[in-house]
Structure 1
Amino acid sequence: MSPDHDTTTVSGPASQSPDGAESLHDNSKDALQLFSASCAGHRRHNDDACAVRLPEGSDTQRYGCLAAVADGVANAEAGGEAARAAINGFFSDYYSTPETWSTKHAVARVLHSLNSWLFRQSGGSTEIQRGWLTTFSAVIFKGTSAHLVHIGDSRIYRLRDGRLECLSRDHSHTLGPGRTFLSRALGMDAHVDVDYRLEALQAGDIFLISSDGIHDYLPESTITEQLLGFCLSTAQQLINTALEAGSTDNLSAVVCRVNTVGLPQCDELAMRNCELPFAPDLYPGQQLDGFLILQELHASNRSHLYLARDQGNSALRVIKTPSVNYCDDPSYIERFVAEEWTGRRISHPGIIKVFPPSAERRCLYHILEYIEGQSLRQWMQLNPHPQIPQVRELLGQLISALRSLQRLEIVHGDLKPENIMICNDGRLVIVDLGGADGPGLREQLHLSGECAPGSKNYAAPEFFFGDSAGHRSDIFSLGVIAYELLTGKYPYPERLGNHHYRLKSYSQIRYISASKYREDIPHWIDGALKKACSADPRKRYSALSEFVRDLEIPNPEFKLPQNRPLLERNPILFWQLLVLILLLSHLLYFFQF
């Protein structure tokens, strides 16, 4: 599916002829053909709306091609307006979502926003008669997959190898002969549950999205027969046949045929970058694509960092090159490329800037913002006992940066003091995105392997227990950093060398109270640290805002601990007293005899 122009067509009253005749639209390409039609039928107004879009260029890879039908609820006050608003709003907002979002996440966010708007238009009323209510069913053709989105009683069918299958489920209940009750629709409630389904595409697949004015009046055998004769007028033929069968409702249909299924679509620039040769070792005085190398900043077995000057504008930049140790490792290369792809889509003062390379780039490297300052690790060594308000301020900056990643559906995956810089002006900046992951990144770049867990003392336990990592994994790492800022220790026994978690359950990982190392830490802050660092992700904070609040305001859930035994509070004094008691008992024994 690689259209050479952008086509968006909305069918409904706005496109009808003055006499109420049906609207028919043809949008076809070699790989994918889409035809749509809609009409009022025997009713005075058409409260249906349908649309298709085949975007141009890179938008096809990022977002895919879209077909949708909305059927305004007939006995609602503004069903038709709701249907058209849903179609127009979805097509506008979906194609404006961040590239880092997965299709499923993008669809959910857009429909949640649309539902809230429609519900507010109804004055927040759940009475159907007063509502802006509509069904909504859509198929997004993206790469080798079809993403199905559905709410209400419109339907999505697929004809494959002569067999018709309904891929959606009606959200309605039968009340009696000829009477049904719609249980779910956009605008019906403040919250909405939308069905999402992912289907692999095959060449020859034919999809039909229809309003109930068609499928309620046609048997599946008739629908199958019509789709088998797929052509430009198939959508209109379905409408005509339903009218002949006695349909009294508005009628809309979108039919799509997949002629060919190519390779999974991936960001073309990222794919080209994977084919670039590795950069050679660089030395002061060398030039690389318009950059003058000034000095080496850091070297590890995975990458090298160089300070360089852009000879075009004299700005200082950091050049990051991959290590030749991994030149034959496809997983490493795709992760290195993904780091640049991710960084160029993030804009936040707390996350390092990644600049686009020149068109003449001859080898693989990143161009990064140059930050003058020290790492958080160095700052911690110089400030071993910071005040609690000072720690709150540092954490506030980190949380702001992590929130921006969460909004983009990105998990950092390797948060630690070495990956955080404190600029000379006090600004905190996360400087390494090599462990970044997320559904959208995997969908856009087709990452094949699992992302390696971060540093052993900061990586969340779920990385090693086989559970999926998510935003709570970053909250764990943040909690460990907060704990270490206050105490200089880790909340769990330190893991040395290559030792990672080798336990059978989360319950085997025991939190060490921060007050053991620093008595001036209030119990409620210790409780917040314990919850953020919970080994079990289900018991951890689900939102960064909750952690922020509990660090600032005492949470009554965190009870003041009862007096702990002397052995736990002061083990040295406990053993000293025990030895003294034993010595006194022996002396008394000898004096008796």
Structure 2
Amino acid sequence: MPALNISLGQCSDKGRKPSNQDFYGAYLPSDAQRRHKGIAVALADGISSSAVSRDASEAAVGGFLSDYYATPSTWSVKSSAQRVLQATNAWLYAQTRQSQYRYDMDRGYVCTLSAMIIKSATAHLFHVGDCRIYQLAGNTLEPLTEDHRFWASREVSHLSRAMGASQHLELDYRAVSLSEGDVFLLASDGVYEWLSPHAMTALIQDNTGDLDAAAKALVDAALANGSDDNLTAQLVRIETLPEREADELFDALGTLPPPPEMRANSELDGLRIIRPLHASARSHVYLAHDPQTNRHVVVKTLSTELAEDRASVERFVREEWIARRLDNAHVLSAPEQRGSRRYLYTVWAYIEGQTLTQWMRDHPDPDLAEVRGIIEQVAKGLRAFHRLEMLHQDVRPDNIMIDRHGTVRLIDFGATRIAGIAEAADASGEADPILGTAQYTAPEYFLGEGGTEQSDLYSLAVIAYQMLAGTLPYGTEVAKTRTRAAQRKLAYRSALSENRELPVWVDEVLKKALHPNPQQRYPVLSEFIFELRTPSPGTLKQSRPPLLERDPVRFWQWLCVLLGVIIVALLTNMSQ
């Protein structure tokens, strides 16, 4: 299978300046890390008015190339790079504020930055300042970035945006689809201001076999044309790209055959099968004993019907990969892999307990406090997913386990969406299939839209509602509404109609969390969980019932007084 490979050429020169304040670099990681995080190239240009801008340039590029690869592989490229650059920007800004140049940013730790991360078949561009990124398309050098420079006159200009210039970093981002043979140029203003696009194109094409020579030719030509600044050029050519439909992360296990029929006392790569635990259309689950650790574990196999489906196999293998990246007490864990596997299966920690579905059967009328405790634990597990830019997408009672100590854990990650992996998938333009259970799936999925954290929140709120009311907030209507107009007609069924002992404000909290429009729900899980215990003043005011409901005696007393006043007034008028 083709892998991601590039050719790289670089050259930098101080030119006529006493020192070189440009700094550049690239990181070409190993194959595994290249698949997970991609290849990074970056160029920074220090401002000439600052004696410490070289330090800023070096910190910006060096920090980007090292810290980006330290971010979790589940994060998207965009999110990872932006967070790293924002942190670097904050550090540069703080350095200036703590230095003698705190009131003169033009002499502080300030630089421009243009960076490119190539992952799978996409180039992700990040830009602030006036370095440039070009793409060579045929005989045309097309700029992919815009200069952040304000011109006060034809001769006088200054940077409007730069790294370290302010506490808040406003960063340009662009994603470019790649083809083999594409050529990109990163250049500082000391190069591109002294050469026309036509001249740069000719120099690159004249040295197409040696990109280092091409980069040096650009620098030398700009210097010969009178450039009075530092000069840096980086050239990147895409040599080979991975197949778009392939997901290399799971090839090792995905090509294994399904295991033989498993019965009590049969063995699977040293694991002894004890008994089956659960079977569904998607998978079969068994209790097993691991003699190496002398512990019970759970073995999960893919159903025979799905074993030939590539997408199903990838989702199946991905579950264990996800679990190893989530270290949370409320998420099912996966033990470290013990040796190589000969068959396609996954291994999980064994939870001695019951599903929430069974718990709800055993507790048909739970206390509000019990419901809160369970929902809060599930929310903690979901927040672990969201912190790593993952959505569970199948939150339902059957996928929640409660052990004998009362600890609640999320299980079954077959529907989980991972931002970092979704980025590398084939951009077919088709909506992802709905993988969750219809009764608990957020309405936006039925419109063909992608999920968000508010989608998992909706599913959790459905469970909370079901535990308190014994029914579903919209019945089975959500799955039938495939247009926005239809969803606007969905009528929320008050939980109070089923459980009169429930505080009115709790019903208002559930109603907001279950709004068909995700923008109208709580923005984050923590806010929903907080309001389940401590309602906001707005919620209390909105949920305050009429006087007749709150205090019937007082209502009738006031009504009698009002009627008495009216009668007296009428009698007085009649006597006159």
TM-score, normalised by the number of residues in structure 2: 0.87
Instruction: List per-residue Cα deviations over 1:303-332 (Å, max 9, x = no partner).
Output: 110000112222211011111122333322
Equivalent position of 1:456 in the other structure = 438
1:521 aligns with one of 474, 496, 502 = 502
> How far apart are the structure 1 equivalents of 2:5 and 2:396?
47
Shift of 1:227: 1.1
> How far apart are the structure 1 equivalents of 2:261 and 2:480?
32
> How far apart are the structure 2 equivalents of 1:210 and 1:297?
61
1:394 aligns with one of 371, 374, 381 = 374
Instruction: List per-residue Cα deviations over 1:405-448 (Å, max 9, x = no partner).
Output: 11111110000111011111221110110110132122357698
Equivalent position of 2:225 in the other structure = 245
2:88 aligns with one of 114, 136, 154 = 114
Does the 8 Å CA contact 1:77/1:129 hold for their aligned counterparts?
no
Shift of 1:83: 1.4
Task: Indicate whether 1:35 and 2:9 are aligned.
Answer: yes
Does the 8 Å CA contact 1:507/1:535 hold for their aligned counterparts?
yes
1:537 aligns with one of 480, 493, 518 = 518
Which consecutive unaligned segments of at least 5 residues does structure 2 have?
550-576
Equivalent position of 1:13 in the other structure = none
Equivalent position of 2:143 in the other structure = 166
* CA spacing shift, 1:533–1:130, aligned 2, 3 Å: farther
Does the 8 Å CA contact 2:282/2:303 hold for their aligned counterparts?
yes
SS in 2 for 1:135: strand
Shift of 1:121: 2.6
Equivalent position of 2:574 in the other structure = none
SS in 2 for 1:173: strand
Does the 8 Å CA contact 1:153/1:170 hold for their aligned counterparts?
yes
* CA spacing shift, 1:265–1:69, aligned 2, 3 Å: farther
Shift of 1:68: 0.7
> How far apart are the structure 2 equivalents of 1:341 and 1:264?
21
Does the 8 Å CA contact 1:2/1:60 hold for their aligned counterparts?
no
SS in 1 for 2:537: coil
Task: Indicate whether 1:86 and 2:60 are aligned.
Answer: yes
Equivalent position of 1:255 in the other structure = 235
Instruction: List per-residue Cα deviations over 1:369-397 (Å, max 9, x = no partner).
Output: 10011112222222333333333332222
Amino acid at match of 2:138: D
Equivalent position of 1:469 in the other structure = 451
Does the 8 Å CA contact 1:137/1:150 hold for their aligned counterparts?
yes
Equivalent position of 1:590 in the other structure = none
> How far apart are the structure 2 equivalents of 1:148 and 1:325?
42
> How far apart are the structure 2 equivalents of 1:307 and 1:435?
23
SS in 2 for 1:34: strand
Amino acid at match of 2:225: A
Equivalent position of 2:401 in the other structure = 421
Instruction: List per-residue Cα deviations over 1:506-532 (Å, max 9, x = no partner).
Output: 311122223333334333332222221
* CA spacing shift, 1:303–1:36, aligned 2, 3 Å: same
Moved more, 532-541 or 328-337: 328-337
Shift of 1:215: 1.0
Equivalent position of 2:36 in the other structure = 62
TM-score, normalised by the number of residues in structure 1: 0.85
1:554 aligns with one of 535, 545, 564 = 535
* CA spacing shift, 1:32–1:525, aligned 2, 3 Å: same
Amino acid at match of 1:450: D
Equivalent position of 2:305 in the other structure = 325
* CA spacing shift, 1:439–1:451, aligned 2, 3 Å: farther
Equivalent position of 1:580 in the other structure = none
Moved more, 308-317 or 367-376: 308-317
2:469 aligns with one of 464, 487, 490 = 487
Equivalent position of 2:567 in the other structure = none
> How far apart are the structure 2 equivalents of 1:44 and 1:518?
79
Does the 8 Å CA contact 2:28/2:34 hold for their aligned counterparts?
yes
* CA spacing shift, 1:562–1:316, aligned 2, 3 Å: closer
After superposition, the CA RMSD in angstroms is: 2.8
Moved more, 148-157 or 435-444: 435-444
Amino acid at match of 2:256: L
Shift of 1:495: 5.5
Instruction: List per-residue Cα deviations over 1:260-284 (Å, max 9, x = no partner).
Output: 4453496645113222222233110
Does the 8 Å CA contact 1:239/1:253 hold for their aligned counterparts?
yes
Amino acid at match of 2:219: I
Shift of 1:341: 2.6
* CA spacing shift, 1:269–1:204, aligned 2, 3 Å: closer
SS in 1 for 2:413: coil
* CA spacing shift, 1:489–1:189, aligned 2, 3 Å: farther
Does the 8 Å CA contact 1:291/1:309 hold for their aligned counterparts?
yes
* CA spacing shift, 1:482–1:157, aligned 2, 3 Å: same
Does the 8 Å CA contact 2:140/2:198 hold for their aligned counterparts?
no
Amino acid at match of 2:517: D
Task: Indicate whether 1:280 and 2:260 are aligned.
Answer: yes
> How far apart are the structure 1 equivalents of 2:2 and 2:445?
38
1:294-443 pair list within 5 angstroms: 294-443=274-423
Equivalent position of 2:166 in the other structure = 189
Does the 8 Å CA contact 1:414/1:454 hold for their aligned counterparts?
yes
SS in 2 for 1:309: strand
SS in 1 for 2:166: coil
* CA spacing shift, 1:500–1:321, aligned 2, 3 Å: farther
> How far apart are the structure 2 equivalents of 1:394 and 1:182?
53
Does the 8 Å CA contact 1:75/1:128 hold for their aligned counterparts?
no
Does the 8 Å CA contact 2:332/2:349 hold for their aligned counterparts?
yes
* CA spacing shift, 1:31–1:321, aligned 2, 3 Å: closer
> How far apart are the structure 2 equivalents of 1:116 and 1:506?
43
> How far apart are the structure 2 equivalents of 1:515 and 1:72?
64
> How far apart are the structure 2 equivalents of 1:546 and 1:508?
26
Does the 8 Å CA contact 1:100/1:409 hold for their aligned counterparts?
yes
SS in 2 for 1:168: coil
Amino acid at match of 1:222: A
SS in 2 for 1:400: helix
1:205-284 pair list within 5 angstroms: 205-230=182-207, 231=210, 232-264=212-244, 268=248, 270-284=250-264
SS in 1 for 2:61: helix
Does the 8 Å CA contact 1:376/1:421 hold for their aligned counterparts?
yes
Identical residues among aligned pairs (%): 37
1:93-104 pair list within 5 angstroms: 93-104=67-78
Instruction: List per-residue Cα deviations over 1:54-103 (Å, max 9, x = no partner).
Output: 11231121122221101123335642222111111111111111111221
> How far apart are the structure 1 equivalents of 2:319 and 2:457?
21
* CA spacing shift, 1:491–1:31, aligned 2, 3 Å: closer
Equivalent position of 2:553 in the other structure = none
> How far apart are the structure 2 equivalents of 1:50 and 1:72?
11
> How far apart are the structure 1 equivalents of 2:142 and 2:332?
49
Aligned length: 541
Shift of 1:299: 0.9
SS in 2 for 1:253: strand
- Identify the structure with the greater helix proportion: 2
* CA spacing shift, 1:61–1:405, aligned 2, 3 Å: same
Shift of 1:180: 1.9
SS in 2 for 1:140: strand
Does the 8 Å CA contact 2:432/2:448 hold for their aligned counterparts?
no
Which consecutive unaligned segments of at least 5 residues does structure 1 have?
4-29, 568-593
Amino acid at match of 2:471: K
> How far apart are the structure 2 equivalents of 1:131 and 1:511?
57
Amino acid at match of 1:51: G
Amino acid at match of 2:446: F
2:119 aligns with one of 123, 126, 142 = 142
